[in-house]
Structure 1
Amino acid sequence: MNKEIFDYLASNRSKHLEELTKYLAIPSISSLPEHKQDVKSAAKWTAKALQDAGMENVKVYETKGHPVVYGDWLKQEGKPTVLVYGHYDVQPVDPLELWDTPPFEANIRDHKIYARGASDDKGQVFMHIKAVEAILRTTGSLPVNFKFCIEGEEEIGSPTLPQFVEENKKLLAADVIVISDTGMQGPGKPAICYGLRGLCGLQIDVTGANSDLHSGLYGGAVQNSIHALVEIVNSFHSPDGKVLVEGFYDSVQEITSEEREAFAALGDIDEELKEQLGVSELHGEPGFTARERTYVRPTLEVNGIYGGFQGEGIKTVIPAKASAKITCRLVPNQDPAEIADLLTKHIYANVPAGVTVNVSLFDQGHPYVTPLEHPAIQAAGRAYEAIYKVPTAYTRGGGSIPIVAAFDQLLGLPVVLMGFGLSTENFHAPNEHFHLENFDKGLETLCTYWYELAESL
């Protein structure tokens, strides 16, 4: 690494924070129609920042929704090309009264910058822009080629981005995708997330009689829709937590011994989880630790179940209708459409007598994983360790980021999730903030990573 790069970052820190403050001042709330022009303003600001940093071919692409900002630098022949993805849109700020300072007036206190978008994701997008700027300004070149794809709809599920990617595969072609929209293990504890679970959701609607019935007049003579629904739900699992849907585990990709060792090195979280969640025992698929269950095993969960009388006191009815909402978290090699089909068949095969059932499908998202040993992952780990001076944790995320899987499917590229946020930074909540220690070290880590990556791919 060139010492001049770090000196540039240090000497321009105040200027960079002033610029970030202006970025954070734009109320680019993608979910609220009244902020449509603000979202466009944020796109233009992002584009200008890329141009000022030295990116070329910068363009704001209009979509059916909010714009996508693109820019590139492609002068390093024979070196890999990195596609940097991020988003400039933010969550709504309500309840406003819980903010200590106005959400779009960045305030620095206690070595943190407070504002909506500071951590998720403007702050981290800004870091990527300033990292390439620092290298270009001090060396006149970059160690790898760059393409930026910064969108304005991530906080509403990226509805138009897959189509944009599909239509612009050549424009976005690269060797690796790098995303900084995830978190670290804790203060001073860098982490790389190399896999995310997919998603499959559905709703079960059970109908019995043609109306709610008086339980005294009809009780014992007709099927209760709630009882029937409970029978169906109860058929999903064995008492010890294994999913009993036929074929559910057939395609599951087993984890390697190296991964199990990496997870074990992160420590046993069972006692910590029990204390944190206030439960006496954990529960789940036998043969796996709690960390393994949440990282690399599929699940089937009931998210909501309802029917009958919900008010205070008692109303003696036999409910005519009952419903349940179900989601599955899926792991590599499981196809959401196939799992939805298996679930639907299982449900219809377990319908009790006296009711009819309808299954409606909802959200689906594919799982993704970049192999732990991939050179781009390992290079990121070395970059973290060079700056933070501690070993990098290698994790998988239990949740789902559908656009990551879409990138994986549409572009066929390894994805490196190397974020600098902390779980305590209130993203999506009042008083969102970003630790300036990770702003500073994150910039140095990114600059280091690009040189590591140039020698690794």
Structure 2
Amino acid sequence: MSNYEAYFQGNRDEHLKELKEWLAIPSISALSEHKQDIQAAAGWLADALTRAGMDKVEVHETKGHPIVYAERLRAPGKPTVLIYGHYDVQPVDPLNLWTTPPFEPAIRDGKLYARGATDDKGQLFLHVKAVEAILREEGELPVNVKFCIEGEEEISGESLPEFLKANKEKLAADAVVISDSSLLEPGKPSICTGLRGLCSLEVTVSTAKTDLHSGLYGGAVPNALHALVSLLDSLHDEKGRVTVEGFYEGVPVLSELEKADLASYNPDERKLAADLGLDSLYGEEGFSFTERTGARPTLELNGVWGGFQGEGTKTVIPKEAHAKITCRLVGSQDPQKTLDRVERHLKANIQKGAKVSIVPGERAFAFTCDPSDAMLQLAADAYEEVYGARAVFTKDGGSIPVVATFSNVLKAPVVMMGFGLPDENLHAPDEHLNLDNFDKGLLTLVKYLHKAAQA
């Protein structure tokens, strides 16, 4: 096998220059004004895959954002690996909290800062360069490789699920490999074997037909903000447990073995709190941090607003108030049933004189896979050879809705090989990627593609 360490070190500056070009494209899928940027990011990726040596590269237009497909199938009798990722990124607000502009990539202290650096352009880029490296060093890939890359992951779009179902044969593979997750901590790799599901909703509480003067009407009419705060407070009890009737239906009870496995990588909770600038952690009573974030469901407020938001004071009783809510789901919790239950709770607990309306959002089932599958075990081996520590099999608190779709439609194991870190500010200002994992990620993926040929 070629000396890939020397290869990647020799090409590191060029690779980082290319990645910066891609990160500079503001491919924010949630904002319609960035539609051209989405197209540009998809085109950039298609060109990069062509330069890498893929035989067929296609940009499929959809009702939403384009899907980039590529393949190189010159390893008869060998497994086929399908690589998934996304080129769209989150919005960047609040801009004032970024040290450098989000779409002007900058390297500081061994970290690459930009929106999309870790989620997911930076991690996806590793796969493109790993394939390119093998082709340049050896002339051919040890396995058959396909890429299927979307531009709607951050908005839970429907284009990719529809594309998967319509192109099952085209996308058929022996493993789906995804790098859109994190190591447990520096030097401690992990492979996610479970993701929480998701459902979301937006709540509007309304009262009078117009805003009212708080001096003339205060204390005598319902206040939309008061009603909303009271309503949101009713969603949890004092022990951090969700009070929505039936919410925990389908939540599995953790076995002693599962508890022990989760405890094996539970962080020092005091140190974690301090690192986050907190006096203490908070959550459902009776569960550890790792259990709360990987094996238990949640109901979180993502945004609350209403009334006067400007500078100074405006003595107004607002007629409307709003909130965005996300539930993370585990086990066999049904996202639609969960939405229905939350809606019933909100309507049953709304303050007298106020009205509540709900707009449902995303829905996704939880995902789980068998860590004993050969394709996952070989990934753990590849990590061990590069990081000096074998990957731990974990359950992740996040949601990647399309993962369950890949598993169900293609009937293939999903290998989640993340190279981010939990503190890299994905979805937040100053998102970044540690370049140590950029370097090690490239080597790990090259080793994995060679090991996958044995499966």
Instruction: Report the TM-score range of the alignment, normalised by the length of the smaller protein.
Output: 0.7 to 0.9
**Which one is further off, 285-294 or 26-35?**
26-35
Q: What SS does the corresponding residue of 1:84 show, helix, strand or coil?
A: strand
Show the counterpart of 1:146: 145
Which residue is 1:194 aligned to?
193
- CA offset at residue 222 of structure 1? 5.8
Partner amino acid, structure 2, of 1:30: S
Q: Distance in 2 between matches of 1:228 and 1:429?
A: 30
CA distance in 2, matches of 1:255, 1:100: 44
> Bigger shift: 337-346 or 398-407?
398-407
- Residues of 1 paired with 2:447 and 2:215: CA distance? 74
2:20 aligned with 1:21, yes or no? no
Q: Contact between 2:211 and 2:316, CA under 8 Å: does it hold in 1? A: no
Matched, 1:388 2:384: no
State the match for 1:10 in structure 2: 6
CA contact (8 A) 2:183 2:190 kept: yes
Structure 2: runs of 5 or more not aligned:
none
**Which amino acid in 2 is paired with 1:25?**
E
Deviations along 1:42-100, one digit per CA (max 9) or x if unpaired, are 54443344344443232232334443222223344444321101234556789599666
Deviates most, 332-341 or 373-382:
373-382
The one of 23, 27, 32 aligned to 1:30 = 27
Change (3 A) 1:173 1:434: same
| Counterparts of residues 167-178 of structure 1 (less than 5 Å) | 167-178=166-177
Post-superposition CA distance 1:384-404 (Å, at most 9, x none): 111111242333332323333
Partner of 2:60: 61
1:205-233 Cα deviation digits (max 9, x unpaired): 33445556677877776655555444533
Q: Quick one: distance in 2 between partners of 1:343 and 1:425?
A: 32
Aligned residue identity for 1:403? V
Deviation at 1:426, TM superposition (A): 5.8
Structure 1: distance between partners of 2:429 and 2:207: 45
Aligned to 1:183: 182
Other-structure match for 2:345: 346
Deviates further, 10-19 or 245-254: 10-19
Larger mean CA deviation between 291-300 and 272-281 belongs to 272-281
Alpha-carbon distance, 1:435 to partner = 3.9
Distance 1:71 1:154, change over 3 A: same
1:61-80 aligned at under 5 Å gives the runs: 61-80=60-79
Question: Rg bigger for which structure?
Answer: 1
| Identity, % of aligned positions | 50
Residue 286 (structure 2) aligns with: 287
8 Å Cα contact 1:211-1:320 kept in structure 2: yes
1:273 aligns with 2:272: yes
- Structure 1 residue 322 displacement after superposition: 4.2
* Preserved CA contact (<8 Å) 2:266 2:288: no
Normalising by structure 2, what TM-score? Answer: 0.82
Is this contact kept in 1: 2:92–2:102, CA < 8 A?
no
Q: CA deviation at 1:101?
A: 9.4
Instruction: Tell me how many residue pairs correspond in the alignment.
Output: 450
Alignment partners' CA distance in 1, 2:327 and 2:287: 18
Unaligned runs of 5+ in 1: none
SS in 2 for 1:244: coil
Give me the TM-score of the superposition, normalised by structure 1: 0.82
Contact 2:156 2:362 in 1 (8 A): no
Listed one character per residue, the Cα deviations across residues 278-313 of structure 1 (whole Å, up to 9, x for unaligned) are 544433223311221111111122344455666756
Structure 1 window deviating more from structure 2 (343-352 vs 24-33): it is 24-33
In the TM superposition, what are the counterparts of 1:18-417 in structure 2 within 5 Å? Answer: 18-26=14-22, 27-31=24-28, 39-40=38-39, 42-89=41-88, 117-154=116-153, 157-158=156-157, 160-210=159-209, 225-226=224-225, 228-306=227-305, 315=315, 320-417=319-416
Question: Compared with structure 1, are the counterparts of its residues 34 and 337 closer, same or farther at alpha carbon in structure 2 (3 Å cutoff)?
Answer: closer
The amino acid of 2:27's aligned partner reads S
Contact 2:426/2:432 (CA < 8 Å) preserved in 1? yes
Which amino acid in 2 is paired with 1:452? K
1:348-374 deviation digits (Å, cap 9, x = unpaired)? 333454443322222333322223444
Q: Distance in 2 between matches of 1:143 and 1:453?
A: 8
Q: Are the counterparts in 1 of residues 25 and 103 from structure 2 also a CA contact under 8 Å?
A: no
Q: Structure 2: how far apart are the matches of 1:41 and 1:223?
A: 49
1:28 touches 1:35 (CA, 8 Å); kept in 2?
Answer: no
What residue in structure 2 maps to residue 421 of structure 1?
420
Shift of the 257–79 alpha-carbon distance from structure 1 to 2, 3 Å rule, reads farther
Which stretch shows the higher mean deviation, 164-173 or 205-214? 205-214
Counterparts of 2:109 and 2:365, CA distance in 1? 40
* Equivalent position SS for 1:194: strand
Return 142-151 or 339-348, whichever deviates more. 142-151
Output the amino acid matched with 1:260: K
